[in-house]
């Protein structure tokens, strides 16, 4: 089952991340590649695992549940997609981080389910930096208020910000949005809000992760560049 070339793709992506980090004078240890495995079968995830990947990103609760028991227990599962409040309870004991918090209602439910599961769940606030109508996430203007409210909830730890930049064929188009997310995290850090850190920026996908790394990404979420195109009809 080596026909997928997943191992080669991972090496290529890691090489590109290294180059971008070097160019920006960043320490590679502060950057983690998340393999976005949504719609992909378990044997492909296994291949990525065997190539050294331990961080996987999924955007559907059902898919995390299906894959979770079939793969090694040291995998860190990242919930990166829009999360419905009524589904938090299924993954509260399974995910290492939820990247997509964009409402107080969702933050409160994660808090409640984290307490039930006896743990603290690190979360990121999703920001719609480019103000796209089709995208989830809070506006830049509303971000600090949500951070402040979420900071007061037990069982969750606001650890940074996440964004899904616009689709583009020129990654340079998105530099401004990655830079804005970084700036927003710097602004919020300067407010010294208790019980939060803005240490993590989750940004950059297959089309633009090198630029995201140059602009300060700590978590990059790469799907197609590792596993190939997604076929939603089959997946
Ligand atoms: C699908 C997805 C990705 C990965 O996208 P690619 O372009 O395939 O790398 C990253 N982040 C989120 C939130 C996604 O839903």
Tens digits of residue pLDDT in 204-235: 999 999 999 999 999 999 999 999 999 876 54
**Across the chain, which distance is largest between two alpha carbons, in Å?**
51
Instruction: Judge whether 53 and 44 are in contact, CB under 8 Å.
Output: no
DSSP symbol at 71: S
- Nearest residue (by CA) to ligand 1, atom 5, is 223
> What distance in Å separates the CA atoms of residue 177 and residue 199, rounded to the nearest whole number?
18
Can you give the pLDDT at residue 12? 98
Separation of CA 216 and ligand 1 centre (Å): 18
Percent of the chain at pLDDT > 70 equals 97
* Burial category of 169 from C-beta neighbours within 10 Å (exposed 0-12, middle 13-18, buried 19 and up): exposed
- For residue 65, the SS3 value is helix
51-100 pLDDT, tens digit per residue, is 999 999 999 999 999 999 999 999 999 999 999 999 999 999 999 999 99
**Which ranges of 25-96 does DSSP label H, i.e. alpha helix?**
42-50, 61-68, 88-91
Can you give the pLDDT at residue 232? 75
Q: Which atom of ligand 1 is nearest to the CA of 207?
A: 7
> What distance in Å separates the CA atoms of residue 178 and residue 171, rounded to the nearest whole number?
11
Can you give the pLDDT at residue 210? 98
Q: Which atom of ligand 1 is nearest to the CA of 162?
A: 13
The tokens 């299906």 sit on which residue? 66
pLDDT at 1 over 70: no
Q: Which atom of ligand 1 is nearest to the CA of 34?
A: 10
Q: Which atom of ligand 1 is nearest to the CA of 80?
A: 13
Can you give the pLDDT at residue 235? 45
Structure tokens at 115: 């307490």
**Torsional sign, CA 138, 133, 211, 232:** positive
- For residue 59, the SS3 value is coil
pLDDT at 200 over 60: yes
DSSP 124-186: EEEB-TT--TT--SB-HHHHHHHHHHHHTSTTEEEEEEE--PPP-S-GGGGHHHHHHHHHHHH
pLDDT band at 4 (very low <50, low <70, confident <90, very high): low
Region label for 174, one of left (φ > 0), alpha (ψ between -120 and 50) or beta (otherwise): alpha
- For residue 223, the SS3 value is coil
CB under 6 Å to ligand 1: residues? Answer: 36, 38, 59, 80-81, 164, 205-207, 221-225
Separation of CA 33 and ligand 1 centre (Å): 12
Can you give the pLDDT at residue 231? 83
pLDDT band at 41 (very low <50, low <70, confident <90, very high): very high
Percent of the chain at pLDDT > 90 equals 96
Residue range 136-154: average pLDDT? 98
pTM strictly above 0.85: yes
In this predicted structure, which of 4-8, 69-73, 189-193 has the lowest mean pLDDT?
4-8
Residue to mutate, 17, 36, 163, ligand 1, most ligand atoms under 8 Å from C-beta? 36
pLDDT band at 3 (very low <50, low <70, confident <90, very high): low
């Amino acid at each position: 089952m080596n026909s997928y070339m997943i191992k080669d793709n991972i090496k290529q992506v890691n090489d590109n991340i290294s180059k971008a980090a070097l160019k920006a004078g960043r320490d590679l240890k502060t950057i983690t590649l998340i393999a976005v495995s949504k719609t992909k079968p378990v044997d492909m995830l296994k291949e990525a695992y065997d190539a050294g990947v331990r961080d996987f990103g999924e955007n559907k609760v059902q898919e995390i549940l299906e894959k979770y028991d079939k793969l090694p227990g040291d995998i860190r599962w990242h919930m990166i997609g829009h999360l419905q409040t009524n589904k938090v309870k299924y993954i509260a004991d399974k995910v290492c981080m939820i990247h997509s918090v964009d409402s107080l209602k969702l933050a409160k439910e994660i808090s409640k389910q984290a307490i039930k599961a006896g743990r603290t769940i690190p979360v990121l606030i999703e920001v719609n930096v480019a103000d796209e109508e089709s995208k989830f996430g809070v506006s830049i203007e509303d971000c600090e208020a949500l951070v402040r409210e979420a900071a007061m909830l037990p069982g969750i730890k606001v650890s940074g910000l996440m964004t899904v930049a616009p689709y583009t064929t020129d990654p340079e188009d998105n530099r401004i949005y990655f830079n804005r997310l970084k700036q927003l995290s710097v602004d919020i850090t300067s407010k010294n809000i208790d019980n939060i850190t803005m240490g993590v920026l989750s940004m950059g996908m297959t089309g633009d992760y090198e630029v995201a790394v140059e602009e300060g990404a700590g978590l990059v979420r790469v799907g197609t560049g590792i596993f190939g195109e997604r076929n939603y009809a089959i997946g």
